Every structure is written in C-alpha cells, then in structure tokens.
Amino acid sequence: MKNGYILELRNIYKSFGGLRALIDVDLNLRHGEIIGLVGDNAAGKSTLMKIVSGAYRADEGKILFNEEEVQIANPKDARKIGIEMVYQDLELCQNLDVPANLFLGRELHSETFFRFLRKRNMEKESLDILHRLKIDIRNPRTKVDKLSGGQQQAVAIGRAVSFDPKIVLMDEPTANLAVVEIEKVLELTLRLTEHNISIIFISHRLDDVFRVSDRIYVLKHGYMVAVKEKLKTNKEEIVKAMFMDVEEQESLQQ
C-alpha cells in the first residue's frame, strides 16, 4: 500500500435522465479515517454513496479499493469487497426484534428439511455485537419499533459492522434523532474506527461532521468543490464552500 488510501473514487459521473447528479467527482478515504461528506440538499451525497454501495452504477469513473480497481455492480459486490452502507431511511424490519434484524437474510438455521432457526445462537452473537460496540439496548428481544430512534440507528450500524466491513458508509445517521441520541450515535461512529473500519459520514449538521471526521469533503450541485482537513478549517469556511458559486470556489481552492 503506497498511498495509504483504502478507497479512491476517480472522475465519477452520474446522471438521472437530464439531471446531472454527479460531475467528475473524486474522493479518497484513508485507512482508519472518518471523512465527512457535506453539501446542501440534492448536492449528490446520497447518490455518491449509493454508487459505492452498489445501489447505483456510475455512468463514468473508477472505484479503487486498496489501490486496485473494483467493479461494484450491486450491493452484494460491495459487501464482498467489505463495504457496508447504513441507509438514511432505516432499512430495518420494525416488526422484528434486534437479533432478527442483525441476522436478516443470513439467519443461522439447521440444515434439516425444515430449516429451524437457531435463535439462541443468533441471540448470543447479537449480544456479542451489541456488547462489542457498547450499544445500550436493555432487552434485545424488543421489537425494533419499540426502540428509540438512536437505538434503531445503532442496530442498523451494528448490522453493518457485523458483516466485518472495511468501510462503512453512513448517510445522515443523525437525522431525526433527539439531541441526547445524536451524541450516542456519534460516539458509536468514532468507536467503529477502533475496529479497523474507515468511514464516510454524511450529514448536513456541521457540528456532527466536525465532531467525528478527520477531513471534510464538500459537494455542491454535483461538483466536489472542497476538501479540508478538519483541524485546518472551520464551519464558516465549510458553509461558504457549500453555498458559494462553483467558479468562485475553484479559484478559492488553488
């Protein structure tokens, strides 16, 4: 590994019909790093993440994982590579309990003709995951819709982590959460790096982004208009980048 990047996006283009959602976008993610991805509504943040997670296919551009080009045609490809996405709109089954959600789609079961669930094993491993990530859910057998928004987000993150990923993409994980819960999700996000996970963290809440990220990327109308080291920038500068004209921005970047 020469350049130390686990993920590199190069010259990514994506259009929806006539709408140009992403134009010549570059992004680099270092090993063990958290980068913040910010931008106004419809800037293209979710689209970019969905390209990395295999939900969308880029029209043009390259994705490099550990400096080797990879094809990510669907979420399965992404998962094989070690990329997990925590979706903005929680992709949990509200009617099922925590272990059921953590193991959704890869339930442990007997190999008999009638496949009996190994609920005990799944519960044990679920407790392990929750414990490892210090996720505070008193009774994991509660149906997810009875959990708070923050706990639900934690379950979604726990599910992503349980696939043993190298990269986790988080799309607005703090949206719709109460203030106390936001802090917990942020702490959880920071803790993930202890498990050798690199993270792209999307939020329009700059406080959150500044709390967790090492570097901050700014998208605007589909253009990546700025990259800043967190310690060498401030909110004012980021806000300017988010809302200033592209031309102005480019001159500023030099």
> Which listed option, Mg ion, ligand ADP, another protein, none, makes contact with residue 41 (CB within 5 to 8 Å by class)?
ligand ADP
For 94, phi then psi, to 5°, come to -60, -25
Query: Alpha-carbon distance 81 to 68, whole Å?
Result: 11
Select from 3, 138, 251, 254 the one that contacts another protein (CB under 8 A). Answer: 138
40 CB contacts (<8 Å, ≥6 apart)? 204, 220, 242, 243
Q: Looking at 87-95, 168-176, 183-191, 219-227, which segment touches another protein (CB under 8 A)? A: 87-95
Shortest reach from residue 116's CB to another protein, in Å: 5
Which residue lies nearer to another protein by CB, 11 or 95?
Answer: 95
**Residue 189 touches Mg ion, criterion: CB under 5 A:** no
Which residue lies nearer to ligand ADP by CB, 16 or 116? Answer: 16
Task: Tell me the C-alpha distance between 23 and 220, whole Å.
Answer: 10
Shortest distance, position 51 Cβ to another protein, whole Å: 16
Q: Pairing mode, if any, of strands 167-171 and 83-86?
A: parallel
Q: In the numeric block, which tokens belong to residue 218?
A: 């700014």
Q: Which of residues 23-52 bind ligand ADP (CB under 6 A)?
A: 39, 41-47
Least Cβ distance, residue 248 to Mg ion (angstroms): 24
Nearest to 227 by CA among 217, 219, 241, 236: 217
Output 64 or 127, the one with its CB closest to another protein.
Answer: 127
- Among positions 28, 46, 151, 198, the unique one binding Mg ion when judged by CB under 5 A: 46
Q: Which is nearer to ligand ADP, 14 or 211 (CB)?
A: 14
Element (H, E) at 206: helix 206-212
Q: Is 4 exposed, middle or buried (0-12, 13-18, 19+ CB in 10 A)?
A: exposed
Is the separation of the CB atoms in 230 and 216 below 8 Å? yes
CB of 155 to ligand ADP, least distance (A): 22
What's CA 5's distance to the chain center, in Å? 17
- Cα–Cα dist 52/189, whole Å: 19
74 binds another protein (CB under 8 A): no
Q: Residues binding another protein: what is the number (CB under 8 A)?
A: 29
Can you tell me which of 4, 16, 91, 110 binds ligand ADP, judged by CB under 6 A?
Answer: 16
Is there binding between residue 33 and another protein (CB under 8 A)?
no
Q: Which residues bind ligand ADP (CB under 6 A)?
A: 16, 19, 21, 39, 41-47
Q: Which residues bind Mg ion (CB under 5 A)?
A: 46
